[in-house]
Structure 1
């Protein structure tokens, strides 16, 4: 069974990036190698600060969207939990 993850990264410039993957370790390595999202290419190194797992891709993508709609303060509270 494939597990779907939503993750939040802390970037080197103190911003947060939210993404979706089925393999968090691989995806973070891609971000840190400059092969991830365009947003993170100039903000490395990145560090995982929050991960949520889901049984379906649809549920994970819905949660990714919801997290992206949060304010910075709300995201900070999420990653501090």
Structure 2
């Protein structure tokens, strides 16, 4: 079975353009007690995959996966 990456990306873009919320985010904790959002994702699996990639790429930084509740 071949994975169609471009179709997957088009579907993600369509979901975001329809107003689907990106509920999961990966944040980086900064030394100044602030946080920086590294990426937003529609599924926890995507966020955790990106988290593990960032941990391997930057082992000295502290990252977290969080559920982002939209304010209304």
TM-score bucket of the superposed structures, by smaller chain: 0.3 to 0.5
Normalised to the residue count of structure 2, the TM-score between the two structures is 0.34
Flag the structure with higher helix content. 1
Greater gyration radius: 2
Normalised to the residue count of structure 1, the TM-score between the two structures is 0.32
